[in-house]
Amino acid sequence: MARLALFTDLDGTLIDFRTYGFERTAERARNFVAEGHVLVFCSSKTAVEQRALMVDMGLSVPAIVENGGGIYLPPDSSLFAENSQANTHEDGSRLIPLGPDVQRIRSFLNNLEGEMAIHLGMYQDLTDQALVALTGLSVDAAGRARQRAFSETLTADLPEETWDQLRGQLQKVGLQCLCGGRFHTVTGALSSKGTALKKVFRELADKAGGSWRSAAVGDSANDASMLAVADLPYLVQKHDGQWADIDQSTLERIPEIGPEGWLLAADEAVARTRESTSLHT
């Protein structure tokens, strides 16, 4: 059987959008890995956020962090072993930068706030308690969310025309602003979930050999780039039952919200990979 690499968004997909709960998906995710497939987290969340979620779910998997700004590799991973840019942590885990440093991003955003006379509500300007009030996260989780390395999250509620002006200014300096399920996130213009997916998938195939297929599951517009490059792309319903506006001919829409949709997508991806293998044997 061909091996399957499943790249999954987190908030509103693998975990519940409102409660951040994963009770419905954790066991299936562990079984998925035990079956010999590869699970890769792919989210706007930071490396420390995703590592904490892995611990809670009983997983140790690679992760695309901060919307493609970097790649997190757990201590037992052999992926990208030759990468000289990787930052190695005390536990042996590694973080590979793909996008610009957050300090550069924040410096430009600070200048734009003055020039445009707006307040962007950057995570760096919030206390942990303020972020708790905005998101419902625990204090510890809010602290992890603010430990960004390759992006900055903006919590402001601005008119769409203002966001358009901001995007135009960011493009001039090689940055971009994407709207996720809740807030806007600024990253390098060349950073995306899709670009990082291709890099990780290529490394997996090169290291392990054999036949591989990629699947991706998401729920919002900032998942579009990874859904566009996966062999098997799945879109689950958002927390309000609506679909993200993503125009892609190969996209399969799963008629369930968040984690319930994730379970269906994961099972279908495995079934389709098995079917594809049997047709070619």
4-24 residue pLDDT tens: 999 999 999 999 998 999 999
- Per the model's pLDDT, the better-predicted residue between 277 and 58 turns out to be 58
- Given pLDDT bands bounded at 50, 70 and 90, which one contains residue 281? very low
Is residue 96 a contact partner of residue 80, using CB atoms and an 8 Å limit? yes
Give the Cα separation of 214 and 227 in Å (integer): 10
Is residue 36 a contact partner of residue 274, using CB atoms and an 8 Å limit? no
- Which residue carries 């390098």 as its tokens? 188
For the cut 60, the answer to whether the pLDDT of residue 279 exceeds it is no
Give the Cα separation of 232 and 6 in Å (integer): 9
Q: What pLDDT, in 10s, does the model give residues 210-245?
A: 889 999 999 998 899 999 999 999 999 999 999 999
pLDDT at 277: 61
For 3-98+192-279, which CATH class? alpha beta
Structural domain spans, the chain: 3-98+192-279, 102-188
- Given pLDDT bands bounded at 50, 70 and 90, which one contains residue 181? low
Give the Cα separation of 132 and 269 in Å (integer): 36
Pick the CATH number of 102-188 from 3.30.980.20, 1.20.120.1080, 3.40.50.300, 3.30.1330.20: 3.30.980.20
Is residue 238 a contact partner of residue 257, using CB atoms and an 8 Å limit? yes
Q: What pLDDT, in 10s, does the model give residues 153-172?
A: 999 999 999 999 999 999 99
Mean predicted confidence (pLDDT) in 44-67: 96
pLDDT at 278: 54
**The total number of residues written for the chain in this structure:** 281
For the cut 80, the answer to whether the pLDDT of residue 149 exceeds it is yes
Give the Cα separation of 122 and 155 in Å (integer): 6
Cα radius of gyration (the chain): 18
Q: Output the pTM of the full model.
A: 0.90
